Amino acid sequence: MDFRIEARSWLESHLAQTPAPAPRTWERDLGRAGWIGIGWPGADGESYGNRRATLTQQVVWAEEYARSGAPARMGHIGENLLAPTLITYGTEEQKQHHLPPVARGETLWCQGYSEPGAGSDLAGVRTAAVPDGAGGYAVTGQKIWTSLALDADWCFVLARTDPGSTRHHGLSFLLVEMDQPGRIEVRPIRQLTGTSEFNEVFLDGARAAEVVGGEGNGWQVAMGLLALERGVSTLAQQIGFARELDQVVAAAVASGAAGDPVIRARLVRQWAELDTMRRHALRTLGSTGDPGAPSVAKLLWGGWHQRLGELAVQVAGEAGAVGPEPWSERRPYELDDAQHLFLFSRADTIYGGSDEIQRNIIAERVLGLPREPR
């Protein structure tokens, strides 16, 4: 069967289920069908529980998933960030231990990078890890803006294992199990949207049994992982963006706002910029050795999505300031799609590396400009 037809057929049949499966059940459904971790390289192609797939087939699956309107993935951090990092830097024992549960949709991961006072500046990490006398580390510190931490089973944590080190020296990439009562506390962060996708994570002597890439090599591993955030998933993300743009265009036509030449020009520009981003993503897909490509991609889509949110509420006009349902004690915070897009996209130029950080990377690593004074 043609790969695209197979992917589309599976998604259509499973999305037609009533009621819709719970998020963790959906992850396990994907895993049982072999749709998690497709294309992961391995010694025999099947060693980590995934199916073989070319880069083109990976793109096809990501596009079909986004186009189908399937639910947001809870396992994407483990699949798209942790797994490729282990494949590149991990030991065979670590791969065999952690990758099959991710491929089966059984284990969820979160990313312990950002910290209060450091934010996107990963070299400013202060979370400390010291040997615990049992072959692992005791980790103490605080992480912030940690997506899905409330549901995660494991967290990969960037911590300072050399107490006398500064900046990017002396960091290690540690694997920490989240179920450690009294040692790990997760506090949801209520956002502008009223939801809490981001969290604070407090570590108080939390045990980390494993280090990836060797002690003190965390900066290299972390930088390799950040480059992975701008891969195949970028194309799927852009299909989601296209669906949101279609909704804004339809709203503009329905309300008559499309008759305003200023709004019409903005709609056309959003379309043209999205097409440019797609072409850029296709051009750089699978390429290596370009230190500026991930930062350019992040700058492009972060600003684009934020401008789309602004346009969505402009198209809505006065209705953009009114909630879709009357507020009550039971339903105190209702937003329509345009309002949610506007408010959530305010974070797009901050999370995943702020625009300022991305511009510094381009300036220093691509243009060869002097480093920013610190």
Contact between 280 and 300 under an 8 Å Cβ cutoff? The reply is yes
DSSP string computed for 21-54: PPHHHHHHHHHHTT-SSTT---SSS-TTS-----
Rounded CA-CA distance 154/107 in Å is: 8
Contact between 125 and 165 under an 8 Å Cβ cutoff? The reply is no
Contact between 362 and 296 under an 8 Å Cβ cutoff? The reply is yes
Q: Give the amino acid at 245.
A: L
Rounded CA-CA distance 254/3 in Å is: 37
Contact between 258 and 204 under an 8 Å Cβ cutoff? The reply is no
Query: Cis omega before residue 332 (within 30°)?
Result: no
Nearest to 154 by CA among 232, 225, 102, 114: 102
Cα dihedral 346/269/271/226 (nearest 10): -40
Q: Give the amino acid at 47.
A: S
Specify whether 229 is catalytic.
Answer: yes
Exposed / middle / buried, residue 73 (Cβ in 10 Å: 0-12, 13-18, 19+): buried
- Quote the tokens at residue 227: 């480059």
Pairing of strands 137-143, 128-131: antiparallel
Catalytic residue among 6, 200, 229, 334: 229
158 backbone dihedrals φ, ψ, rounded to 5°? -90, 120
Active-site residue list? 229
